[in-house]
Structure 1
Amino acid sequence: MNVPLSILDLSPISEGGDAASALRNTIDLARHAEQWGFRRYWLAEHHFVAVASSQPAVLIGQLAAATERIHVGAAAVQLGYTTAVATVESFGILDALYPGRIDLGVGRSGQRRREAAAGPKPDAATRPAKPPRVWREVDGVVIPAPFDISTLLNNPRLKARSSVLQQPDANAPDFGDQVADIIAMLQGTFQVDGVETHVTPGERADLWPWVFGSSKGQSARVAAKFGLPFVASYHITPATALEAVEVYRDSFQPSDALREPYVVVSADVVVADDTATAQHLASTFGNWVHQIRAVDGAVPYPDPETTEPLTAEQQELVRDRTATQFVGDPDEVAHRLDALQKLSGADELVITSVTHRHADRLRSHELIATRWGL
């Protein structure tokens, strides 16, 4: 029996479109996703780029109102740009209105960007050099060499924009401390300097954090320490996501939330009725990723009918992402998803899919839902 399948959506803006149309498309896809049997519908948080999911909690409320059963949630709240109490309050409101249907995903993206801006750690120069990583394929799953994200994180435009996502001179707590505070607030045990502090709405809400991560670093360890479900982002960092799963499982401690580890792994997919059509629809994915990495962040998703192909040099910059995107007819994509699930041991898979035309994105999700047996 196949594991559950869920959706991660960025509410992407297409070339020639706008945020309003992207948001309407997201609501439409969520309604269809519920009909097709997907388990969850999650929204990413991104800022200053051509995606409309910048405030997941606001959009989650709209999706929950437009659907009846499907779980809706964040993938994930960037705790580096907000506070634990603001997160618990906003998701507490959502849980009060739509009990049992809200997923609170949290990640440390904002914290990673601040760490990069602060420069190398004092002991960086004395650490032994890591051996180079090579591309490999395991049971049909491509595991590429890691992409060096330091240049991206140190992009002056990105740093300037990130600076306004917090109040001046704000200093966010450590990610692990924030997760601990969220759990305490939800359980009603939170204290500030010994003073009991109760969060309303939020306290006793039917919520547990889902921790999102992409490497064997802090996120995987925090999820394991607190016994929380862990979501490994293979679609963003395919080189290290499976290592993160291993660290999480090896370190997992049972909790009131989970007695055993629960792993979700993401994949980027484009499905069409035939392979040639799917490849055409996905042909501008590399252009989109290249803009994210080399220029100024995600642009409106390019139209494959009018977009020039990348040069060989540009293709090399995004090869880890294009090689790990699952593109093809329903059988081909289902086979690769099944291989990823078996290799990772995932309890659930979550797919993200971007195409220029909304109709093609709908069709992609419908085809894989049918083939997966939802």
Structure 2
Amino acid sequence: MPSTPLSILDLSPVPAGATVTDALHNTVDLARRAEQSGYHRYWLAEHHLAAGVASSAPAVLIGQVAAATSVLRVGSGAVQVGHRTALSVVEEFGTLAALYPGRIDLGLGRSGQRRIEAAQAVAAPAPPVPARVVDGLLIPPPFSYTSVLTSPRFALSTALLHQPGAQPPPFAEQVADVLALLRGDYTDADGLDAHAVPGEGTDLQVWLLGSSGGESAQLAGALGLPFAANYHVSPSSVLDAVAAYRAAFQPSATLAEPYVVVSADVVVAETDDAARRLAAPYGPWVRSIRSGEGAMPFPSPEQAAALPWTEDDRQLVADRVDTQFVGAPGTVAERLRTLRDVTAADELLVTTITHAHTDRVSSYELLAKEWVD
């Protein structure tokens, strides 16, 4: 038995030279194999307008994955509620929960306020913070998303995802509406009730996801909901996120004690050298995201080696590359145990991207076999 449950976060990556259809079929195949390997849950991310990522409609993919598996919990990591209504989210996931009772997770992510925050960051940039190591865990300097969030491409994405003139409500209000609709006690300002069908009374497990010690972490704690902290996306603030969640935690009908899952980017192969080769395209892939272009199709090691690469590029992605867990099964398992121990995580959520689907499947299988007491 694993000492701590292992789960998977999947972006349905599109390898260079492959198609979106290939990527989606790979997701379903990987989920089947993950269930056989003993993974606890399988989450689908939500990304838009990226040539290299096919998980733009997580609810649709969740249904396909749940249909192809039997006991694996399946969910979203996370629904971007800033361009959705609470009712649409509850109806979609309520449908899934009715079809696959006891197996569906609804992970909610804060979005819609990021452009405002980016503008504030431009006006008042944060002072530089050095890297540090906490009990063996690297906490790199924070990465500023200001250039990405203020880019023309991000503006285009926002325009396409929102109805004209629409303004996302505060995250806390959206979460409150989701929970009220699920409980069946939603009323508006005039006292009128509304009932989500499907949705009301279903056994959805609601999660909040966050990358800092800000609103998501604090709200998850205050509501007594489980929380997912993103070491793989924002490694600089993972300790702030879990600390804020635990400090704010109030027992609820959902949880008597805090429950934290922490994510990590992982590539496992038979040897450290083989794993480093498979992970080599990760830096150029992250660069494509942080340059504002959107995730490119994931290149092969040979293709990645032929791409131009500068010191500025290295600096742009250093925090992500330096905190990726790459190596033989024992190497990666040891680093994951460090992550678990330092964050006191109750569960770990691993995400792996390689060019070849067979290498990605093998990475997860090798890790599952190694992850034992």
Give TM-score scaled by structure 2 length: 0.96
Name the stretch that deviates more: 94-103 or 135-144: 135-144
Partner of 1:88: 90
Aligned 8 A contact 2:154 2:292 in 1: no
Where do residues 1-374 of structure 1 align in structure 2 (5 Å cutoff)?
2-49=3-50, 50-108=52-110, 110-116=111-117, 119-120=119-120, 131-193=127-189, 194-307=191-304, 308=306, 310-373=309-372
Q: 1:100 to 1:168 in 2, by over 3 A?
A: same
Query: Structure 1 regions of 5+ residues with no counterpart?
Result: none
For the residues of structure 1 that align with 2:194 and 2:115, how far apart are their CA atoms? Answer: 29
Return the offset for 1:191: 0.7
Aligned 8 A contact 1:76 1:105 in 2: yes
Aligned 8 A contact 1:7 1:350 in 2: yes
1:92-128: CA deviations, max 9, x gaps?
A: 00000000000000001x32334247x339xx96x7x
Return the offset for 1:316: 1.1
For the residues of structure 1 that align with 2:211 and 2:312, how far apart are their CA atoms? Answer: 26
Aligned 8 A contact 2:106 2:206 in 1: yes
Report how many residues are paired.
Answer: 368
Amino acid at match of 1:120: Q
Amino acid at match of 1:266: S
Return the offset for 1:131: 4.7
Q: SS where residue 138 of structure 2 aligns?
A: strand
Return the offset for 1:130: 5.1
Amino acid at match of 1:186: L
Name the stretch that deviates more: 335-344 or 298-307: 298-307
Q: SS where residue 300 of structure 2 aligns?
A: coil
Q: SS where residue 22 of structure 1 aligns?
A: helix
Q: 1:114 to 1:314 in 2, by over 3 A?
A: closer
Aligned 8 A contact 2:7 2:41 in 1: yes
For the residues of structure 2 that align with 1:295 and 1:76, how far apart are their CA atoms? Answer: 21
Aligned 8 A contact 1:7 1:41 in 2: yes
Amino acid at match of 1:115: I
Amino acid at match of 1:323: D
Aligned 8 A contact 1:183 1:208 in 2: no
Aligned 8 A contact 2:87 2:178 in 1: yes
Aligned 8 A contact 1:42 1:75 in 2: yes
Aligned 8 A contact 1:116 1:154 in 2: no
Return the offset for 1:68: 0.4
Q: SS where residue 112 of structure 2 aligns?
A: helix
Amino acid at match of 1:43: L
Amino acid at match of 1:62: Q
Q: SS where residue 281 of structure 1 aligns?
A: helix
Return the offset for 1:189: 0.7
Aligned 8 A contact 2:151 2:292 in 1: no
Name the stretch that deviates more: 152-161 or 67-76: 152-161
Query: Structure 2 regions of 5+ residues with no counterpart?
Result: none
Give TM-score scaled by structure 1 length: 0.96
For the residues of structure 1 that align with 2:136 and 2:218, how far apart are their CA atoms? Answer: 28
Aligned 8 A contact 1:326 1:333 in 2: yes
For the residues of structure 2 that align with 1:241 and 1:115, how far apart are their CA atoms? Answer: 22
Aligned-residue RMSD, C-alpha: 1.5
Aligned 8 A contact 2:148 2:292 in 1: no
For the residues of structure 2 that align with 1:165 and 1:65, how far apart are their CA atoms? Answer: 28
Return the offset for 1:264: 0.3
1:316-355: CA deviations, max 9, x gaps?
A: 1100000000000000000000000000000000000000
For the residues of structure 2 that align with 1:101 and 1:293, how far apart are their CA atoms? Answer: 34
Q: SS where residue 265 of structure 1 aligns?
A: strand
